[in-house]
Amino acid sequence: MKDSGGFLVLPWSNSGAAAEPGEENRTGLLLRCGAVLGLSLICFAVMRRWIAGGVCRCSVRLDGKTVLITGANTGIGKETSRDLARRGARVVMACRDLTRAERAAEEIRRSTGNGNVVIRHLDLSSLYSVRQFAKDFLDSEDRLDILINNAGVMMCPKWLTEDGFETQLAVNHLGHFLLTNLLLPKLKSSAPSRIVNVSSIAHRGGRIDFEDLFFSRRPYSALESYRQSKLANVLFSSEIARRLKGSGVTSFSLHPGVIRTELGRHVEGWFPMLGAILRLPSLLLMKTPWQGCQTTLYCAVTPGLEDRSGQYFSDCAEQQVAPEGRDEATARRLWEESAKLVGLKETC
C-alpha cells in the first residue's frame, strides 16, 4: 500500500512493542517463584546440615582390638559395626535375632573386607541370656577394648520380662548394667578400654522412682518409663566412671539424635494415621543411621577423652547433662538397687 507521497506503508507489527501487562505479570510471577524455590532449597540444605550434627573425623585404626556392640543388626548399631569393622577391629555383634544379625554381618563383611565380624546371641530382657552371653564371651575372647551398650526399646506397651521387670527399664538399663559388670574383668585386662552408653536427650525430665520402678502401683506411661530408662543410662555411666577411676577403663554416655530407625515402631503402632502423615517429614527432618552413629564413634575412638570419663556427649561434643543426671546420690542408689535386682553380689 502506498500513501499519496509515494511511500510504502507496511501493516503494524507488535514485534518491537512492550509486553502486554498480563505477560509481565506471568514473568514476574515465575521470577518470584524461582527465587522462593531457590531460597527454600538453600534453607533446606542448611537445615539438613544442622540436623546431621557432628561427624567423627578421627581416622584411628583398631587393628588387633575387639569391640562388642549390642543391638548391632540394625539402625545405628549396624552402622557403628560397619565403621569399626572398616577400621580393622574384631567386631562382635550381640543380637537377639540371629537370622537378621547374620544378614547384617555378612553385608558388613562384604562392604568392609573385614571377615572378622561375628554374631552372638544376646537377649537383654533375660538375665539368664545376659549371664550366658558373658560367660561365653569371657571364655572365648582374648580381650575387650570397647563395649558399646547400644541396644534399646522405645515407648513399648507395658510388657514384663521373664524376670518380672518392666521391659524398657530391663532392656535399656538392667540388662546392660549386668552385662557391663560381668565383662569388667576383660575390660580391665584390656585397658585402656572404653564403655559407651547410648542414652537420649529424653533423660531430661526423667525421674528414677525407687518406690515403683516397674509401674506396679502407678499408671503406666510409656514415655515416663522411657525417660526413666534413659536417665538410668546417664547415671550408670557417671557412677561406673567414678568407681573405675584409675583402672584404665573409661565410660561415656551420649545422645545420638533423632534418627530414622525401627525404634519408634511402637509409637506408629499406637497412632498409624499420625505415623503415615509424619513419615515424609521424618525422612526430611531426622538423622540417617549413619549420621546417628557419629557421636557413638566419637566416644569410642577419639584419643584424649580419658579425662572426660563419666561425661555426656551429643553431636560429637561434650554437652551439659540435665540436672537429673548430675545427682550423685541418685546414681549411687540406682547402682545399689540395680545390683540387687540382677543378683550381683560383688561389683566394682
Question: Which active-site residues does the annotation give?
Answer: 226
Helix/strand/coil for 223: helix
Helix/strand/coil for 244: coil
In which element (H, E) is residue 91 found?
Answer: strand 90-95
**Amino acid of residue 293:** C
Q: 61-95 as b/e, with b when 16 or more CB fall inside 10 Å?
A: ebeebbbbbbbbbbbbbbbbbbbbbbbbbbbbbbb
Q: How far is CA 164 from CA 74, 121, 172, 231, in A?
A: 27, 21, 15, 21
In which element (H, E) is residue 339 found?
Answer: helix 328-342
Q: How far is CA 63 from CA 84, 85, 89, 140, 250, in A?
A: 10, 9, 5, 19, 20
Grid coordinates representing 286 are: 531426622
Residue 170 per-residue DSSP state: I
Helix/strand number for the chain, H first, E second: 12, 8
Grid coordinates representing 341 are: 535386682
Pick the closest to residue 310 from 229, 249, 263 (CA basis): 249
CA distance 298 to 14: 68
Say if strands 312-314 and 249-255 run parallel, antiparallel, or are unpaired: parallel
CA distance 327 to 189: 30
Q: What is the CA radius of gyration of the chain?
A: 28
Q: Are 70 and 150 in contact (CB under 8 A)?
A: yes
**Amino acid of residue 155:** M
